[in-house]
Amino acid sequence: MKITLIALLTLLGTFSALAQSSAPAANKEDVTRDGLWDGRLKGGNYLVRCTQIIALSKHEYVADGVARVVEVNLSLNTNMTVRFYFLEPVRVEGGGAMGAGQQALDKARALMQDAATRVSPTLTTPKVVKSYPLTTHAHTVEFVLPDEDKLNSLYGSLERSFRTGQGRIWREE
């Protein structure tokens, strides 16, 4: 798991720095009458009947000391769990040598981001990475979002649907 997180963070670390420096794109949400929450993400689509949602949570943790993860979990009236998350490298805090080390890491990430986008504009787009069989989660659907604002918008949309039973279409823009 640690190797998977480190590999993912290598790609996402540069992307998160870029995402935080630019203004976040607005996400679009439309209310529907069909009672379905319809998530249209760049990494795939997810559709669920609002009355099948049993619990909704959002929490933050540090994974293996290398990644800050903000995760939204959706528990359903089935054996399936859905996770939406944002992750970024844990930042080194403090001044002195530690601060200089963080600056070096940030510069290296920026250079890697620049080189990666020259190869392909979608190369640094975050994707769920699984290492079979280590990260196989039976009955788990996972989506990764490129920035925390999008995750917060998605959570708000899910919460409104969960509380009211009213359908929505949420689009990652």
pLDDT tens track for 1-26: 444 444 444 444 444 443 444 444 46
**pTM of the predicted model as reported, rounded to 2 decimal places:** 0.67
Please write the tens of the pLDDT for every residue from 95-133: 555 555 555 555 555 555 555 555 555 545 555 555 555
Q: How far apart are CA 63 and CA 83, in angstroms?
A: 15
Cross-strand bridge partners of residue 68: 62, 88
Determine the Cα–Cα distance for residues 15 and 125; give it in Å rounded to an integer.
7
Domain count, the chain: 1
Tell me the pLDDT tens digit for each residue of 21-79.
444 446 789 999 999 999 999 989 999 999 999 999 999 998 888 888 999 999 998 88
Domain that holds residue 131: 2-171
List CB contacts of 72: < 8 A, sequence separation 6 or more. 56, 57, 58, 83, 84, 85, 151, 154, 155, 158
